[in-house]
Structure 1
Amino acid sequence: MASLITGIAAVVALDSLNNSLQDDIERNAKELLGADLVLNSTKQFEGEVVQAIDSNFSLAGEAELSSMVLFKNTGYTRLIRLVALQGDFPFYGELLTRPENAYEQMKTGKFAIMDDALASQYEVSSGDTIKIGNTYFPVAGVVTKIPGGGGLAATLAPSVYISLGELDSTGLVQFGSRINYSMYIKTNTEEETTQLIKNVEPLSKKYGYSYETVQARKEGLGRGFSSVYRFFSLLAFVALILGCIGVASAVHIYAREKRDEVAVLRCIGSSGWQAFAIYFIQIFILGVIGSALGAIAGIGIQQLIPVLFKGYLPMEVSFNISWTSLFMGFIIGTIVSVLFSMLPLVAIRFVPPLTVLRADSQATRVWSKTRMVAILLIIIFPLSFAAYQTKSWLTGALFFAGLAFALAALSGVAWLLLKTVKRFFPSQAPFVWRHALANLFRPNNQTQMLMVSIGLGAFIIATLNTVEQSMLSQVEFTGNENQSNTIMFDIQPPQKDGVVKLMEENKLPVNQVVPIITCRLSELKGKSVESLQNDTTDSVSNWALTREYRVTYRDSLHKSEELIEGELHKRISGKDSVWVTISEGMHENLNVKLGDSLVFDIQGVPLKVRIAGIRKVEWSEDPPNFIFVFPAGVLENAPQIFVTTTRIDDQQAANRFQQQLVMAYPNVSLIDLRLILNTVQALFNKLGLVIRFLALFSIVTGLVVLAGAIINSKFARIKENVLLRTVGAQSRHITQITLIEYAYLGLFAALTGVILSVGGSWLLTTYFFEITFAVDFLELVWIVAGIVSLTMLLGWLNLRDIVRTPPLQVLRKET
């Protein structure tokens, strides 16, 4: 029952959470978007776009860009997401502030409000002053809730909000500034929204902007949460499979202990089917009770999960009970109790009556139709359930195959370890150690089953731990190995020499000074972008045709680049004089190959180029990196901005330099990769807590399986240890033997799971996540030590009754 309860609780809790999320997304989609339709662009909207919108519709505007903010009260600086708002945003949902009038105050005057987390981190309160660009803003309050914001978004990109009318005063809107514009539209009916989409869709292709509807936001959130749900539901699936193993193990031991009773029933005329039915009904009733308790426990746990996820979701999760999940858990638990008890109970049918007279009489192994059907159903059930959990037969089949391989590997390694120990048995060791080790080979000891179940729990937690460590190490590796950890961008040409001089005055290395030119495609392989957009047979994505490209020029490869095809970018004499290189992957998006032509619109000036080569780019290594790289001698006179990079290892030096940079060049933004590293690391630590909590179901189920097997074998151990006491063994000897035996068992099981987890983690990180494999062996040692300790604790708790039982009571069979 305990095995069943933990497995079913995991399945019900996660399925109920998923149903609540889907219901909340369905109900709150408009509140999450804040409008009926949102238009997004990297440039200000053309008059034609504004004219296409009915004047009866309510409009609100937003401009979003990255900027530095200086907190005047502390002198600290921080890269933030600056959001300039105009109009009555949001039309749906709530924008809550503290104090309540802070948002209205921001819209009517030169005030700013900011995310609550940002204000707390930098100790900013209402009335304090911050500097954004050239302008000082008093802080009117903090934002506690905003449609589409807060949660994880606020952690990674904290926001400061000002009125759109004050944006120009900051001096941040300059040539080359990357600004994203949004127009929020509120219609009166869904029919008006549909008609408006038809009106603006041709314009979106023409001017290269995008739009988002309530349905698109709903589907996007649904897909995101669905991916998370599938991952966590697989953890619940593993817990359920462990529960199945626990059910099968417990019923197997129970059935063997009832052989004598079955033999007596057979002697007085009971048929094999009647004997089978007696115990099957017992197990079925226990399964129904366990399933009901597990489903109820799962609903209770579901109330706790949203608390763990708090801060990661852009909306509040309801605590509604999912009756569908409750019913599903009850049905699945009942099926599990029937399926996984059927096979071990089938053997009861073939217990011979002679067992009453001869204890060594064995049941005949018959491959009956019942046994074959049970085996077939036991295979089909996990496969079907995995497909149901992942919503894909292929994914379910692959996961089922992987789990089957893991179980087979665990069983094989456990068998090999036992054979190795038996082959090299320490015959010269003291009696206590020898007897404890020999107990692993005792008949009916279930050693291999225990090692598989506990080893699988160790395998899961060790694999999750190693994958998490690899992700963290990947971020740390990128931050530590890069030549630069500080990037300054949006530097105007007249400011370049001044910024470089400021770096030199602070004794900072000038690692890169990179020019950046913004441009768009106007032709591709001799066809205009407009004709390609209208060609329904063309496979080039619209975003690749209409996006704004940021390119640079140089005559060499950057350290993060490798030329994998063609030649380096170059300039030659003749008609086609400019040859550029393109990044790997983007040539597939644009469907271009070596020698193909493109025409770039560079601030109104067309420039024809051809593809000379394809570069492989490690985007995370020493940014900035680029899709297109031009040769020198072509773009030097084009309007451009500069990016420069350096490395700062001392925090005080970093604070001092950032303050000087903001005061001298307020439009220049600075990215501190160390701050990003710390933010991501803190995020991983929080997510790791959630993952460990959900993986705990598997571990607890594995421990329940262990405890169940230990308790079920108690009577056999009582008889064995009583015999030891009758020949002179003392209670302390029995305690030592038992604890050492369980130490062996826990150690072998943990080592089996952890060794396999290292190989499994390497495969996952290398081929699935495609990150650098990293393992923390100290944490793996702690996992092994924890499993060994828990196994010994369970063995000791089980031992107390054994030590207290009088030898004569067992010898006379009075128990």
Structure 2
Amino acid sequence: MAWRDGKASISRLLLFMASIILGIAAVVSIQLFSENLKDNIKNQSKALMGADFIIDSKQPPTKKVQFIIDSLNASGSEVNFISMAAFPKNKETKLVKVRAIEGNFPFYGNLVTMPANAGSEYQELGGAIVDATLLLQFNLKTGDSIKLGKLMLPILGALKSIPGSTAISSSVAPTVLIPFRLLDKTELLQLGSRKEYQYFFIAPPAMDLELLDKKIDPILDDENADLDTHTSTSRRLGRSYENVFKFLNLAAFIALLLGCIGIASSVHIYIKEKLKNVAVLKCLGASRKQTFFIYLLQIIGIGLIGGIIGSIIGIGLQYVFPYILKDFLPFDVQISITAQPLMIGVTLGVLMSVLFALLPLLGTWYVSPLEVLRGSEENSIKPRKARLLILATILLFIFLFSFWMLKNALNGFIFTIGILITFSIMAGIASLFMKVIKKYFPTNWDFTKRQSLLNLYRPNNQTMVLILAIGLGTFLISTLYFTKDILLAKTAIDNKKNSANIILMDVQTQQKEAVLNTMQPKGLEVIDNIPIITMRMHRIKGKLVNDIRKDTVSKMNRWILNREFRTTYRDSLLDSEELLEGSWTKEVAAGEPILISIADNIARDADLKVGDFVVFNIQGVLMKTTIGSIRKVNWGNMQLNFSIVFPAGVLENAPQFNVMTTYVSDNVSSAALQRDLVQNFPNITILDLRQIYTIVEDILDKVSWIINFMAFFSILTGIIVLIGSVRNSKYQRIKESVLLRTLGAKSKQILQITALEYVYLGMLGSLIGILLSLISSQLLAALLFKEPFIPSAIPFLVFLPGITILVVIIGLTNIRAVLKSPPLEVLRKEV
């Protein structure tokens, strides 16, 4: 019976099925790609690092660290740092990451160069391998020269890939490989230069890397060094991508939930039209159980076929993800098919179809045989307990599924509550809208407008489900759009005369005057001239930092203990700072206590408060200080901020370097300044904030594209739900439209009535979605990004009319057959 009845309604059942296919496809594709990514990270962990394990340090190795390196027999090493590179061929300059390598690194994976032999010959030949994209950008080729500091090197080849590198990281500072033996000749490493020392190892077959990490890493930590094994690095990389896939899974799950709303609404209309058939079957002797299972089997079939089709589409879609995420991945993902996500897809298809169809299916259980004689479409019995039980089961399933994805019960609970609140608000507004129209009905309007409003609360109306489908889809895409605006605003740079857009780093004391003389003839003013002094904490509240490191019960954050702080001195607060506790000390006279100011994150992580003592090791000189004030720092501002600030009169004679900032009006002036500075002062690193902003914007655009790709599933599912919901009310609309035509209504009037109804639904649904997205975006801006939120008009100008027009077009397709056919012909077809 289920098969025979289903065949008669196959076109409508297929539309039900379409509501869930996209959600299943999204979940399966993301689950499959997530599994593939984990397997690739695990299988390629050595190739990702290029070695079995690495010891790294931000400073030259101490005697103890050097002894460990020698005893473990390092097979290669490198020093890497950020610097400026000059290209004499076209007199261009660029910020690059220099990697001075010794040994045949990488030991695993491939150093891909063009020509292929450049990677094995550059150390012997004494040349450089330069990032391939950088060569294209500056129209350079093999045989041209690159100047790093005082050293001119021939370009021996283009670097296409190296273990651990991504397109995103290379876009900020492209990689340049040089032989380690030539590093000193560049003269780039001076006081204040940020550099990293790395030592690469090949582990003997019998070595236990987990045990090595456990035994050696704590010793290295005490010496401000670190040990990373290929297994620990792959776990860390896996965790970083895990957060991305948690978000993508949630987006897919929302698309699936949206599809389930389509299932529920479609089954609701479908079952209402089948109630008379059910009543007839019961008159003929069919039991409650039999009639219930006839339609339950149809829903299970919908879910099963939808799950299978969705899983097949998901298999195809997972091949798209490596292309989308290629700029963020440090390796090529090899795709393979696993059974688990496919089983999840099919199971979800059946389970969620049944769960969300149970409420309308209850109508078949409680329908009376007398329904045949009554001719009423309303089911008089309201199974309250059964409905509440089903609703509770649906919420429990949503919680369990989100808990499984997020691996956190609290986050799963928050997600479930968020979904419930969003749906409740939309459903509440839709219900209130219908009640307000009914109560304050504009009786003085003309017939066409009155009838379009009456349709919003007539029997079998689709107001609730259409507003939910339209509203949630609009809510998702609008929230994503507003979030992108917040992120872009957070990285925006004011193009004002007093806002620096060029930063000169590592300016040595003896170079300050000469740098000023280079800038002034170009009409450039120095906005900031900030002295930088490097130091470490030696004692915190009377306790040696080394002792705190060894204290297993200490809860102090280790970055405080290991960090080399870059501090400054000045007599005033910046615009980006706010005093939270204590008082600001402008200057300290000789013999007075040294009152310093620390940022609130330092106070929190080091458990410091006003009045506590900290002894600093300033390049071998110990200095006792007292916490005089605690500041809140806006680290998002594009200016130099410091965790620790000394008053004037203390550090002026300490070994230091300077950071200078200026404003350059255009690209030509910026290029000319950079060329002159790199030529005369090769050790100075120049940051052009406009270029960095362009790179950041490009990264955000790529992230936004990925987010919008996932939102596409929700939007497309919403459109399918919309089509399904509107098409399911077609049969009711046909009867109404035929009756109106029989009573003398013209085709134009019927068209206007239908169009106006869908205009109301489209505008209300999309408006609710946009307004809710405004609230959620404001919460994100205040709580997560801590940025002011200035809404864009695009959702109101584009999404609101665009979605409304789409709703109207879909709605009008319903009555096309009615308008083209005589009433008698349509009535005969219905009979």
Aligned partner of 2:157 in structure 1 is: 141
Letter aligned with residue 124 of structure 2: T
Q: In structure 2, what is the Cα distance between the partners aligned to 1:350 and 1:196? A: 69
Distance 1:543 1:44, change over 3 A: same
* Conserved 8 A contact 2:465-2:725: no
* Conserved 8 A contact 1:71-1:131: yes
* Aligned-residue offset at 1:615: 1.8
Matched, 1:565 2:581: yes
Between 1:537-546 and 1:339-348, the stretch displaced more is: 537-546
**How do 1:577-588 and structure 2 match up within 5 A?**
577-588=593-604
Between 1:456-465 and 1:612-621, the stretch displaced more is: 612-621
Aligned partner of 2:9 in structure 1 is: none
From 236, 246, 254, the counterpart of 1:220: 236
* Aligned-residue offset at 1:380: 1.4
**How do 1:669-748 and structure 2 match up within 5 A?**
669-748=685-764
CA deviation digits over 1:676-729, x for unaligned, max 9? 111111111111111111111111111111111111111111111112222333
Aligned partner of 1:487 in structure 2 is: 503
SS of residue paired to 2:309: helix
From 275, 283, 290, the counterpart of 1:274: 290
**How do 1:585-604 and structure 2 match up within 5 A?**
585-604=601-620
Q: In structure 2, what is the Cα distance between the partners aligned to 1:723 and 1:250? A: 24
Matched, 1:70 2:86: yes
From 630, 643, 648, the counterpart of 1:614: 630
Aligned partner of 1:283 in structure 2 is: 299
SS of residue paired to 1:440: coil
* Aligned-residue offset at 1:428: 4.7
From 121, 134, 138, the counterpart of 1:122: 138
Letter aligned with residue 329 of structure 2: L
Q: In structure 1, what is the Cα distance between the partners aligned to 2:763 and 2:277? A: 37
**How do 1:97-112 and structure 2 match up within 5 A?**
97-112=113-128
SS of residue paired to 1:748: helix
* Conserved 8 A contact 1:62-1:181: yes
Aligned partner of 2:487 in structure 1 is: 471
Q: In structure 1, what is the Cα distance between the partners aligned to 2:645 and 2:536? A: 14
List runs of 5+ in structure 2 lacking aligned partners: 1-16
* Conserved 8 A contact 2:502-2:661: yes
Q: In structure 1, what is the Cα distance between the partners aligned to 2:68 and 2:23? A: 56
Letter aligned with residue 358 of structure 2: M
Distance 1:495 1:477, change over 3 A: closer
* Aligned-residue offset at 1:385: 1.2
SS of residue paired to 2:815: helix
Q: In structure 2, what is the Cα distance between the partners aligned to 1:292 and 1:242? A: 18
Q: In structure 2, what is the Cα distance between the partners aligned to 1:274 and 1:764? A: 51
Q: In structure 1, what is the Cα distance between the partners aligned to 2:794 and 2:208? A: 62
SS of residue paired to 2:328: coil
Aligned partner of 2:311 in structure 1 is: 295
SS of residue paired to 2:751: helix
Distance 1:197 1:807, change over 3 A: closer
Matched, 1:11 2:27: yes
Superposition TM-score, scaled by structure 1 size: 0.96
Distance 1:785 1:660, change over 3 A: same
* Conserved 8 A contact 1:57-1:187: no
What is the Cα-based RMSD across aligned positions, in Å? 2.2
* Conserved 8 A contact 1:97-1:142: yes
Matched, 1:623 2:636: no
Distance 1:814 1:488, change over 3 A: closer
Letter aligned with residue 715 of structure 2: I
* Aligned-residue offset at 1:670: 0.8
* Conserved 8 A contact 1:14-1:232: yes
* Conserved 8 A contact 1:263-1:351: yes
* Conserved 8 A contact 2:570-2:586: no
CA deviation digits over 1:540-589, x for unaligned, max 9? 23331232111112222233222221122466568663221111111222
Matched, 1:247 2:247: no
* Aligned-residue offset at 1:308: 1.2
Aligned partner of 1:82 in structure 2 is: 98
From 287, 292, 308, the counterpart of 2:324: 308
Distance 1:80 1:608, change over 3 A: same
Q: In the comparison of the two structures, how many residue pairs are matched?
A: 815
Q: In structure 1, what is the Cα distance between the partners aligned to 2:693 and 2:67? A: 45
Q: In structure 1, what is the Cα distance between the partners aligned to 2:291 and 2:208? A: 71
CA deviation digits over 1:49-71, x for unaligned, max 9? 23324667452111111111123
SS of residue paired to 1:568: coil
* Conserved 8 A contact 1:579-1:630: yes
* Conserved 8 A contact 1:208-1:543: no
From 523, 526, 532, the counterpart of 2:539: 523
**How do 1:125-204 and structure 2 match up within 5 A?**
125-189=141-205, 191=207, 193-194=209-210, 196-197=212-213, 200-201=216-217, 203-204=219-220
Superposition TM-score, scaled by structure 2 size: 0.94
Letter aligned with residue 324 of structure 1: Q
CA deviation digits over 1:575-619, x for unaligned, max 9? 663221111111222222222222222222222222211122222
Q: In structure 1, what is the Cα distance between the partners aligned to 2:222 and 2:591? A: 30
Q: In structure 2, what is the Cα distance between the partners aligned to 1:616 and 1:372? A: 49
**How do 1:256-271 and structure 2 match up within 5 A?**
256-271=272-287
Letter aligned with residue 673 of structure 1: L
* Aligned-residue offset at 1:366: 3.9
SS of residue paired to 2:475: helix
Distance 1:440 1:362, change over 3 A: closer
Aligned partner of 1:461 in structure 2 is: 477
Q: In structure 1, what is the Cα distance between the partners aligned to 2:270 and 2:595? A: 78
List runs of 5+ in structure 1 lacking aligned partners: none
Aligned partner of 1:409 in structure 2 is: 425
Letter aligned with residue 235 of structure 1: A
CA deviation digits over 1:710-769, x for unaligned, max 9? 111111111111122223333343333323322222111111111111111111221123
* Conserved 8 A contact 1:115-1:150: no
Identity of aligned residues (%): 40
SS of residue paired to 2:492: helix
Q: In structure 1, what is the Cα distance between the partners aligned to 2:698 and 2:744? A: 59
* Aligned-residue offset at 1:284: 1.6
Distance 1:368 1:146, change over 3 A: same
* Conserved 8 A contact 1:85-1:163: yes
Q: In structure 1, what is the Cα distance between the partners aligned to 2:37 and 2:100? A: 31
CA deviation digits over 1:382-433, x for unaligned, max 9? 1111111211121111001011000011112223333444455454555434
Between 1:451-460 and 1:562-571, the stretch displaced more is: 562-571
SS of residue paired to 2:155: strand
* Conserved 8 A contact 1:569-1:629: no
Q: In structure 2, what is the Cα distance between the partners aligned to 1:462 and 1:368? A: 36
Letter aligned with residue 558 of structure 2: N
Between 1:124-133 and 1:388-397, the stretch displaced more is: 124-133
Q: In structure 1, what is the Cα distance between the partners aligned to 2:201 and 2:687? A: 33
* Conserved 8 A contact 2:403-2:412: yes
Letter aligned with residue 327 of structure 1: M
Aligned partner of 2:14 in structure 1 is: none
Between 1:266-275 and 1:650-659, the stretch displaced more is: 266-275
* Aligned-residue offset at 1:812: 4.2
SS of residue paired to 2:100: strand
Matched, 1:657 2:673: yes
Aligned partner of 2:408 in structure 1 is: 392
Matched, 1:380 2:412: no
* Aligned-residue offset at 1:814: 4.8
Q: In structure 2, what is the Cα distance between the partners aligned to 1:525 and 1:370? A: 64
Aligned partner of 2:49 in structure 1 is: 33
